[in-house]
Amino acid sequence: TNGTYVNGVNIRGRGLVPLKDGDVIQVPGAFEAVFRSR
């Protein structure tokens, strides 16, 4: 697998990663999304 990235950092093996408003979540070759809190 390509792994999952938050703000360009591979988060594999890090467990739960808290997201902040504006964080970019990426799965290379699949999608990119920006987290927005309400």
Is residue 20 assigned to a domain? Answer: yes
- Tens-place pLDDT, residues 6-37: 999 999 999 999 999 999 999 999 999 999 99
Give the closest residue to 25 by CA, choosing from 37, 10, 38, 13: 10
Q: Report residue 24 CA to chain centroid gap.
A: 6
Residue length of the chain: 38
Q: State how many domains the chain has.
A: 1
What pLDDT sits at residue 1?
58
Is residue 36 assigned to a domain? Answer: no
CB 14, CB 28: distance < 8 Å: no
Is residue 35 assigned to a domain? Answer: no
What pLDDT sits at residue 25?
98
- Domain encompassing residue 10: 1-27
What pLDDT sits at residue 2?
75
Is residue 11 assigned to a domain? Answer: yes
Is residue 33 assigned to a domain? Answer: no
**From CA 33, how far away is CA 24, in angstroms rounded?**
6
What pLDDT sits at residue 32?
97
Q: Report residue 25 CA to chain centroid gap.
A: 3
Is residue 19 assigned to a domain? Answer: yes
